């Protein structure tokens, strides 16, 4: 289970919680412009926009969980089991892209969300796994830039490209349910509530925050969607980098998984393995892990973006503490 957020506060910020029961060999990876990305059904991408994100690297290939390119276009894949469907049959006049290739395909050649949408309309995501022992991941995708946000879902009845006015994505059910479900919380407010119970009874709030009574607090995807959307859309923050990044991580913390609260079907505890926030305008990727609350920043534009070799940064997993005395 995961949550992703797209948020503009002066600069454009994009990030997510990656909630899982086990590590997948993840690390921050920069893919420079001349690193050849070999596609299974299409021509190799020998030259493309540079990108940065969290990935597992297998056979020299960066398998991104989320990434942003040098132009500020972002993508995150989130678990969508039971609904994700990738056909095997090819459709004429479409490009055929495996799920693990979609970040390369879009970020490698699109500078804007509108370019990505146009490319998606000519793309079919097909059921090709990376290789033996690497199963197909049932995903849907959050794609965004500073001008807007999309939710992309490949289902049995085809690819659905949803305009995402909220800028949030979680997991099942499909996106149109999440958007409609917000109507159940239309009464929530960050303000002190008025008495609508009855004119005959004099009622007053006895504490702050009572306008949001009913905001769900469980870890289900529907509840995380509502909570993240409410908190983000009611955000107030200075337009300064450190304040914006700190605020973004507070938003992610509000929907993070604490180990011991959700057990996966395999019998292991789920937790938020890492949370990330990228300043997409500046190409700075920040992250923290379940075991280390200190932020680590990796700068896309400090790397040689015209190189050929992947640039990998192992995650800082152990807790870092500033001792004041």
pLDDT at 89 over 90: no
CA 324 and chain centroid, separation:
35
Mean of the pLDDT values across residues 129-151? Answer: 94
**Is residue 84 over pLDDT 90?**
yes
pLDDT at 191: 85
Flag whether pLDDT at 217 surpasses 80: yes
268 alpha-carbon distance from chain centroid: 23
The sign one gets for the Cα dihedral 15, 60, 93, 129 is: negative
**Could you read off the pLDDT of 176-203 as tens digits, one per residue?**
999 999 999 999 998 888 888 888 888 7
pLDDT at res. 22: 86
Provide the pLDDT for residue 55: 98
Picking from 257, 232, 244, the residue whose alpha carbon sits closest to that of residue 295 is 244
Give the rounded percent of residues in the chain with a pLDDT score beyond 70.
100
pLDDT at 202: 84
Structural domains of the chain ordered from first start: 2-171+239-314 (3.60.60.10)
Q: How is residue 87 annotated by DSSP?
A: -
For 119, the enclosing helix (H) or strand (E) is helix 113-121
Query: How would residue 146 be classed by pLDDT, with cut points 50, 70 and 90?
Result: very high
Query: What pLDDT was estimated at residue 281?
Result: 98
- Location of structure tokens 């004119």: 199
* Arithmetic mean of pLDDT, 80-89: 94
Is-catalytic flag, 277?
Answer: no
- pLDDT by residue (tens digit) across 98-107? 999 999 999 9
Residue 1 confidence (pLDDT) above 80:
no
pLDDT, residue 196, reads 81
β-pairing, 123-125 with 95-97?
Answer: parallel
pTM equals 0.95
- Which is catalytic among the residues 2, 74, 110, 276? 2
Nearest-5° Cα angle at 277, 271 to 283? 145
Instruction: List 58's β-bridge partners, or say none.
Output: 61
**Rama region for 135: left / alpha / beta (φ>0; ψ in -120 to 50; rest):** beta
């Amino acid at each position: 289970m995961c949550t992703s957020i797209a948020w503009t506060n002066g600069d454009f910020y994009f990030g997510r919680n990656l909630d899982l029961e086990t590590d997948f060999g993840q690390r921050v990876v920069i893919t420079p412009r001349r690193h050849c990305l070999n596609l299974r059904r299409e021509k190799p991408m020998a030259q493309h926009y540079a990108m940065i994100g969290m990935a597992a690297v297998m056979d020299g290939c960066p398998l991104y969980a989320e990434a942003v390119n040098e132009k500020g276009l972002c993508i995150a894949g989130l678990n969508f089991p039971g609904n994700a469907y990738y056909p095997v049959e090819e459709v004429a006049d479409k490009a055929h892209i495996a799920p693990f290739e979609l970040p390369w395909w879009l970020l490698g050649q699109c500078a804007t969300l509108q370019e990505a949408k146009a490319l998606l309309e000519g793309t079919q995501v097909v059921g090709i796994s990376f290789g033996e022992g690497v199963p197909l991941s049932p995903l849907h995708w959050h794609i965004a830039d500073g001008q807007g946000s999309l939710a992309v879902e490949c289902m049995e009845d085809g690819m659905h490209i949803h305009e995402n006015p909220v800028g949030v994505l979680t997991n099942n059910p499909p996106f149109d349910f999440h958007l409609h479900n917000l109507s159940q919380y239309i009464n929530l407010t960050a303000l002190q509530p008025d008495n609508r119970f009855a004119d005959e009874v004099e009622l007053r709030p006895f504490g702050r925050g009572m306008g949001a009574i009913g905001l769900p607090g469980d870890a289900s995807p529907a509840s995380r969607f509502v909570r993240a959307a409410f908190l983000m859309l009611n955000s107030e923050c200075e337009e300064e980098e450190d304040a914006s990044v700190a605020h973004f991580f507070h938003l992610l913390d509000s929907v993070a998984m604490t180990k011991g609260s959700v057990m996966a079907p395999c019998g292991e505890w789920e937790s938020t393995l890492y949370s990330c926030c990228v300043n997409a305008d500046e190409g700075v990727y920040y992250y923290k892990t379940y075991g280390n609350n200190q932020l680590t920043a990796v700068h896309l534009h400090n790397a040689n973006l015209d190189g050929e070799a992947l640039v990998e940064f192992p995650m800082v997993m152990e807790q870092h503490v500033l001792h004041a005395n």
